[in-house]
Amino acid sequence: MSPILLFIIIFPILEIYLFIKIGSQIGAFNTILLIFLTAIIGVYYARYEGLNTVRSGFLQIIKNETPAYEIISGAAIAFAAILLIIPGFATDFLGFLLIFPITRKLIFGNISNKFKKEEEEEKNFIDGEFEDIDDDNDRKI
């Protein structure tokens, strides 16, 4: 059985389990209110973090650097916003993990470091063209 299929089967079961457990502890109305509240707060914070990421990306471009982390971070923030809109406590937990800069840096920091290392290696090369000039020709340099 593939891991993706297993995830698709287990994740909704986890969500239903959490709905039942949390709903039995705090009540049905409070559970529904909490779901709406996390969605509203999450989308608002995703917008805020998204704008910060765009701003940081433009600063990287102005410095003539590749905004690798900002691109990955922007995609993660968009995915986190989707997770926060979907009702459920496990999706909200994953969404908040992806939306906070500290945890996002821990998760995606290594990927952006690889891009920066490759960019630094490329700076050591000088790109140019050359042409062989034979002595038989009367062309001089």
**pLDDT surpasses 80 at 122:** no
- pLDDT band at 127; cut points 50, 70, 90: low
More confident of the two residues 139 and 23: 23
Which residues, other chains included, contact 88 with Cβ-Cβ below 8 Å and sequence gap of 6+?
15, 18, 19, 35
> Of the candidates 85, 82, 89, 76, which has an alpha carbon nearest to the alpha carbon of residue 31?
89
What's residue 14's pLDDT? 92
Q: pLDDT tens for residues 100-121?
A: 989 888 887 777 667 666 666 6
> Of the candidates 111, 3, 88, which has an alpha carbon nearest to the alpha carbon of residue 39?
88
As to burial, measured by CB atoms within 10 angstroms (0-12 exposed, 13-18 middle, 19+ buried), residue 60 is: middle
